[in-house]
Chains A and B, each alone.
Chain A
Amino acid sequence: MTQTGTPPVTAERIYDALRQILDPELGINLVDLGLIYDVQIRDGEVAIRMTLTTRGCPLHGSIVQAVERVVRQLAGVAAAHAEVVWEPRWNPDMISLEGKQALAGTGRRSPA
């Protein structure tokens, strides 16, 4: 239930929230990895279309749960649903500039 008077959630806030979820192997967040393909908001219900770096990824379930959990916590969000798709297929070229810098150890958010 959204609280009365709460401003509607924006895509930007959702992406910001998703930046706190890191790929545990690469240490880069899902947004900078280019794994979040699309965010749709309608009447406080958020639908996220995303993918994973590896099709057989053992963290499939827990990453999806984390995404929904993090988005559900935002003000103005009544429900969140994440759908994993495999097309277009993810490749490292989809990593953002910040993500690439982090991989090279030169960015602000470098993994160990």
Chain B
Amino acid sequence: MGVWIAALLTLCIYSFLYKDNPFYKFAEHLFVGVAMGYSAVLTYRDGFVPYVWRYLKAGFTGEPEKLLIIVPTIIGILFFMRFIPRLSWLVRYPIAFSLGLGTGIALPLGIQANIYQQMYGTLSPFGALGKLSPFQIFNAVLMVIGVLSTLTYFFFSAEHRGGIRWVSRLGIIFLMIGFGSAFGNTVMGRIAILIGRMRFLLSDWLHLVR
């Protein structure tokens, strides 16, 4: 029965290819509801229970240091104030804590990962030029040219005139090649999902293929 339900829901979604219709709308809304229900259960079972409930239980049964969890719990509960118009300003407190802590932790790590490490990657081949083949040296030079010209394209504080305009145009060329290669890969990614569904319909549902 599960296979039939899955197959019928699949066909409801595919009916959108003809045009928008009640079957598609039904399936679309059902998807959103079921997905949110799934996330809600998992957030409770694998978020609230291990991080809050078990800590509180342990705190009240022999590990009093774990009762400190009450503080972030109260801060988190303030999120519920969003639904009481008179008290909705209290939502700013959990937002302040989560944004402040999250941004503070991520800031030095982000600089390291996205700036220093990427700059290292761009320049590191030039530290070992003697060990590289001519083709690898060409690629390293091409990479530096690509990075600098693309960055120039995104630099809007100076007008793109004269030399900057030509460097910026070179950057666009690198960007177009990048987007083209992304498109080429995306085609495969999207068709892969379709293959999965077709296989389900032809094999698991209609038994036309073993």
- A in complex with B: no
